Amino acid sequence: MPARTPRSSTPARREARRGARRTSTRTSARTAHRPSTVNHHGIHLLRSGTAVRGLVESACLGPNSLVLDLGAGPGTLTAPLARTGARVLAVERDPGFLARLERRFGDHPNVRVVAGDLATVPFPRRPFQVVASIPYDLSTRLLRRLLPDANGGASNLAAADLVVEWGFAQRVCRAVPRDLETARWGATYELRVVRRVRAAAFKPVPAVDSAHLRIRPRPGQAGRRVRRVLYAMLAEAFRCPDQPARAVVAEVAGRSTARRILGDAGLDRGVRAGTVPVDRWADLARCALDLSRRRP
């Protein structure tokens, strides 16, 4: 049972409380579902074939893929992932689940069971995918490890299909994000909710619904240079969201570039920086860099 989280309104604390909701046996007045059994371990396992199939099919894995099942539990996802022929790393820290995973997959040629903590376990050095139903209380921490940081550095994540808490998915998929970190994520990766995963799809039933969150790199955003331009624009836009987007682009790339590329990106001259969707910022950064490369 997780420790009680003190009342506060910071995003980190709110997420900790959401994690506790999914990993506790308490029921919520806001839900029609009630936990079906007492869950001493505070873990909710996927039992919906539709949700599992949706995650695995979305990942389009093959024998050349490397995929991480982060928080593998008893192997609900590990087994169908292994059937794709991909190399699977099943990461888990619970000793009971680790023993079950070893029994089930110990002799499997393309599955490796990894005893580790998701907060610290090293990620592969070659491109990898993640298909996983992750613990709610680690959602932000894991995305921070997988997606680019403020300096543009990132893991070798090629794609992810995750089960996360519904509210968390809504927050990170906003077209116009409310904070700089999710703006950076959304501008370099496309984050999209594929489907709602009802609370009843888990056993025991948690207090809130979940979502299948699909994460894919945005084309043209992989290079460090384009990320530098993009992140400088986002930082300026979030510093003063009421200023015109034109002024943000001019600050980073110069006035003449701003005049030329704003129209190309389909943005009005007077549009405020704080209302520009993340995919537009990605376009603007790419256009600014293309233009600077074409200049003699």
- The residue ranges that bind ligand SAM (CB under 6 A) are 43-46, 71-73, 76-77, 91-94, 97, 117-119, 133, 135, 138
190 Cβ partners below 8 Å, 6+ apart? 214, 215, 216, 217, 218, 279
Distance, CA of 202 to chain centre: 20
Q: Which amino acid is at 134?
A: I
Among residues 236, 176, 165, 209, the alpha carbon closest in space to that of 11 is found at 165
Residue 73 or 152 having the CB closest to ligand SAM:
73
At its nearest, how many Å lie between ligand SAM and the CB of residue 38?
17
With respect to ligand SAM, which residue has the nearer C-beta, 27 or 76? 76
Query: Residue of minimal CB distance from ligand SAM?
Result: 71
The annotation status of 69 as a binding-site residue, yes or no, is: no
117 is in an annotated binding site: yes
Chain CA centroid to CA 77, Å: 18
Q: How far is the CB of 65 from ligand SAM (least distance, A)?
A: 18
CB of 203 to ligand SAM, least distance (A): 9
In the complex, least distance from residue 235 CB atom to ligand SAM, rounded to whole angstroms: 31
Length of the chain as a residue count:
296
Is 220 marked as a binding-site residue?
A: no
Calpha distance 210→117 (Å, rounded) = 22
In terms of CB distance, is 97 or 189 closer to ligand SAM?
97
Give the N- to C-terminal CA distance of the chain in Å, as an integer: 63
Which of residues 71 and 148 has its CB atom nearest to ligand SAM in the complex? Answer: 71
165 is known to lie in a ligand binding site: no
The values of phi and psi at residue 57, to 5°, are -65, -40
Q: Determine the 3-state secondary structure of 17 from DSSP.
A: helix
Q: H or E stretch including 162?
A: strand 157-165
Say if residue 133 carries a ligand binding annotation. yes
Return the SS3 of 260: helix
73 vs 177, beta carbon nearer ligand SAM: 73
Residue ranges of the annotated binding site for S-adenosyl-L-methionine are 44, 46, 71, 92, 117, 133
Residue ranges of the annotated binding site are 44, 46, 71, 92, 117, 133
